[in-house]
A = this chain, B = another copy of it.
Amino acid sequence: MSDKSETASCTHRGTTKATRYATLIGDYGTSDFVLKRGGRLHEVTMAYECWGQLSPNYDNAILIFTGLSASAHAASSLDNPDPGWWEFMIGPGKAIDTRRFFVVCVNSLGGCLGSTGPESFNPASGRSYGSDFPDLTIEDIAKAGHHLLDELDIDHLHAVIGPSMGGMVALAYALQYPDECDYLISISAASRALPFTIAMRSLQREIIRCDPKWNNGHYDSAEEPLNGMLLARKLGLVSYRAAEEWHQRFDRARVKKDRRKGEAFEIEFEVESYLDYNARKFVGNFDANSYLYMSRAMDWFDVADHGGSVNAGLAKIHVKKALIIGVTSDILFPVEQQQEIADGLVKAGRKVEFVSIESINGHDAFLVDRDHFAPVIGGFLAKT
């Protein structure tokens, strides 16, 4: 892993002209990227996008980690004018102001949207890794982001930011590189997953694995377990939103008769149609094994692994100030879990701004509730 990637000209799912690639240098003393649970990757490519200008002192960089399913395309740019997944948040004059900051968003290690993951070519077997991909943890995703910054010659971050899974990765980043990051923004994340959330995710994984096309993790791109992915994604979507939002939006509205096929047990309520439409947009654009690996990484993550208790782990975070955000209607990572992170950081003597957002949008509020999220994040960064 010594020279720049040659995959830059390839196209991957979810990548465009705006996507850049870096091949990571191996760990010190080895040419491999060594994962937390002992696995090794001989070659790691990371896909990322950038906005804004790196300052002459290299001191204005912000690194964004994403939720499970998002690509590095967090915002539009000249190279890719399509709106990004956090379009309202990132840009000139926006909350994450690209006139001031050099913003990097990275596709997670283990993903399938440009970075190395289970879908990547495994030189050892001559085919995709599939389920031969090594065990992946949140800490590995953080470390791959850190290696990427090395490649970009950035040795200090102004801030690390992440929502959902990215919020766990941001915690892991701040834990593992305590002196290399001034500010931390962790959104709708948790120091560790609790049983209800584990159950919701474990069930999604089991649904995928029960699709015969999953084939123990070795399937051709033409024979992906799309059916399992469709059902798993629907369950994911149920856990990402909140009952009240759907009540206001759909109530008991029915799909119009001319959109029905007359089949037994077919879609009848608008909420079923909404789930089906949104799940189908995802399926086929995301690798099932990536889903499995990252989903499990979230279940495995436990800040207590870093010192014996959650508070001992959080005490390893040495940022100047942290912004911890939760949403009252989140059933996946309830707001008590963000409160726990904030309390632990305060206990460790850190400065913390904890914001509990009253939104009906559930876990996914950071994606859609611009009015609540942009001022909180913009206000925090403006004071840094």
Give the B-binding residues of A (Cβ under 8 A): 131, 192-200, 202-203, 205-207, 209-210, 216-217, 227, 231, 234-235, 238, 241-243, 246-247, 249-252, 264-265, 267-272, 275, 292, 296, 299, 302, 331, 334
Whether the pair A238, B203 counts as a contact (CB closer than 8 A) is: yes
> Which of the residues B131, B209, B231, B252 comes within 8 Å of A195, measured between beta carbons?
B252
> Which of the residues B198, B246, B250 comes within 8 Å of A271, measured between beta carbons?
B198
Whether the pair B247, A194 counts as a contact (CB closer than 8 A) is: yes
Q: How far is the CA of A291 from the CA of B243 in the complex (A)?
A: 23
Interface SS, A side: helix
Whether the pair B234, A206 counts as a contact (CB closer than 8 A) is: yes
Whether the pair A206, B231 counts as a contact (CB closer than 8 A) is: yes
Closest 4 CB pairs of A and B: A196-B243, A195-B271, A195-B246, A195-B250
Q: How far is the CB of A21 from chain B (nearest CB, A)?
A: 28
Whether the pair B131, A209 counts as a contact (CB closer than 8 A) is: no
Task: Report copies per complex.
Answer: 2
Chain B residues within an 8 Å CB radius of A251: 194-195
Whether the pair A269, B202 counts as a contact (CB closer than 8 A) is: yes
> Which of the residues B193, B197, B235 comes within 8 Å of A203, measured between beta carbons?
B235
Instruction: Check A199/B131 contact, CB under 8 A, given A207-B207, A231-B207, A234-B206.
Output: no
> Which of the residues B205, B246, B268 comes within 8 Å of A196, measured between beta carbons?
B246
Q: How far is the CA of A276 from the CA of B241 in the complex (A)?
A: 26
Q: How far is the CA of A198 from the CA of B275 in the complex (A)?
A: 11
Q: Which residue of B lies closest to A270 (CB)?
A: B195
Q: How far is the CA of A194 from the CA of B242 in the complex (A)?
A: 12
Instruction: Check A264/B217 contact, CB under 8 A, given A199-B275, A231-B210.
Output: yes
